[in-house]
Amino acid sequence: MHRHYPSPITLKRLLAGLEGCCVQGDENLVVTGVAYHSGEVEPGGVFVALKGVRTDGHRFINDAIRRGAVAIVTEPELEAPAGITVVQVAQARLALAHLSATFYGHPSRELTLVGITGTNGKTSTAYLLEAILSRAGHTVGVLGTINYRAGSQTWPAPVTTPESLDLQRLLRAMRTQGVSHVCMEVSSHALDLHRVDRAAFDVGVFTNLSQDHLDYHRDLEDYFAAKSRLFLEILGNGAAAPGLAVLNLDDPRGHELHRRVRVPSLTYGCHPDSQVRPLTYKFRPDGIEARLTSPMGEMEIVSPLVGPFNLANILAAAATALGLGLAPEVVARGISALTGVPGRLERFGPPAGPAVFVDYAHTPAAIAQALRALQQLDFARIITVLGCGGDRDRKKRPLMGRAAAAGSQLVIVTSDNPRSEEPLAIIKEIEPGLKAAGLNKITEAAAKQGKRGYVAVPDRHEAIRLAVSLARPGDAVLVAGKGHENYQIWGSERRHFDDREEVTQALKEYQG
């Protein structure tokens, strides 16, 4: 994307307000840019050396200086090279967040910024809120798992929540384009790594918490502690007024946050204590009908999104929009305007044939939610295609298998992103969960005869084709795990692979 640099400012002004930093050298030098990758350094820039998972930015200090860095920000002590200013800090990532926000002129203070965090539902809630705000006449930017976008411009999303420098640059670019509101998915990694620490949030939304990312976090408590930072430490950072916490009371962790937050809150869910909750609701094959009550009044909701978890997402978006001061009728119109979310229970197939759904579900809870949604639509049989990512949380693999088996008559176990692991080894770790939930391994021939069980097909292309070919009119196929993603990772290689394309092709073959 275009690099919008503001007017150069002094290092002293950049560092103002950053506690505990020690400066060796000239504080009054003029800074032309900030970088955390030595290859991005431009003459007159500041290089912030970050310790990463795979490499340490301190190894690239000399490269940054060769490229024209005039100041280095570092955690360890560093003898200042001739003519270079060294800034020693306690936390380089926090320093980067501070420098980035200051360098770009704190764009979040000029925007209405909504941060959405939780294990599941972040993307759909962001899409719903975008639809509501757009219908209300606002210019909306979105930063999330599928992409980063504002108006007619779209940027690829390498990570759900950008590094603090990239985040502040994007927010400034969006503000320059006339964006007034930004909906941002905030990952636990981003919270743990201080990527959003100097962003001024007007609203923080908590969707839910279930097992995920335990390859990164020590345990569920550590994972929740990272999520909690948005509400307990960051919300309202530098904003004109304290931020609003929008919390899901259907989740025990939502209750816990509700007890602990010190900022204004608005609760949602089916729990009777929720301030925004459904009085009545009906799940239909073509969507959801509900009547919601709130402190701001009642509203009738009609949405083409399907299933109980989408009702939760609708409640989250509605509560957020109401908390931002939108009228109930505007909220209702915006919700009905959203026809679907890419790779989120996205339906393919002819009305008369089997229904094939592509969904991003890649946690045990998300698999269970997606299958519960399909079970409520009265399909004759549900076939699930399931894999687990390599080099990621291994403990959730049998739990994923158990969740798939509990809601399906047939499971095709396959590959997701194998990365450096052998696909068959990953499948072996999914199988105990399938068996524990009562599904035994069967042959493809037995599956073709309609037998209940699971089949292992390591090739994802073949697994999808088999699942679709086995489905009959009245059946549903859930292809879970990758959703909107258009790649598979084998080793360190990223190959083009899109579940939606594969499903479309398999349906063409099915129809002859």
271 Cβ contact list (under 8 Å, min separation 6): 249, 250, 277
Q: Which residues contact 500 (CB under 8 A, 6 or more apart)?
A: 343, 346, 348, 358, 484
User: Residue 8: what pLDDT?
Assistant: 79
> What pLDDT was estimated at residue 42?
94
Q: How far apart are CA 28 and CA 40, in angstroms?
A: 23
pLDDT at 228: 94
Among 331, 323, 341, CA closest to 129: 331
* Mean pLDDT, residues 34-39 taken together: 96
Domains in the chain with CATH codes: 9-103 (3.40.1390.10), 107-337 (3.40.1190.10), 346-511 (3.90.190.20)
| pLDDT computed for residue 217 by the predictor | 42
Instruction: Compute the mean pLDDT over every residue in the chain, rounded to the nearest whole number.
Output: 93
2 — pLDDT class (breaks 50, 70, 90): very low
Q: Tell me the average pLDDT across 196-210.
A: 94
Give the pLDDT confidence of 384-403 residue by residue, as tens digits.
999 999 998 899 999 999 99
**Which pLDDT belongs to residue 434?**
98
Q: What is the rounded distance in angstroms from the CA atom of residue 512 to the CA atom of residue 479?
A: 21
Lowest mean pLDDT among 5-14, 378-387, 400-409: 5-14
Average pLDDT over residues 104-116: 96
| Whole-number pLDDT of residue 124 | 96
Structure confidence by residue, pLDDT tens digits, 423-476: 999 999 999 999 999 999 999 999 999 999 999 999 999 999 999 999 999 999
Angstrom distance (rounded) from CA 458 to CA 138? 46
Please determine, for residue 215, whether its predicted confidence score (pLDDT) is greater than 90: no
The pLDDT assigned to 1 comes to 45
Tens-place pLDDT, residues 313-356:
999 999 999 999 999 999 999 999 999 999 999 989 887 778 99
Q: Which two tokens stand for residue 137?
A: 């006449």
Global pTM reads 0.88
Q: How many CB atoms lie within 10 A of CB 198?
A: 24
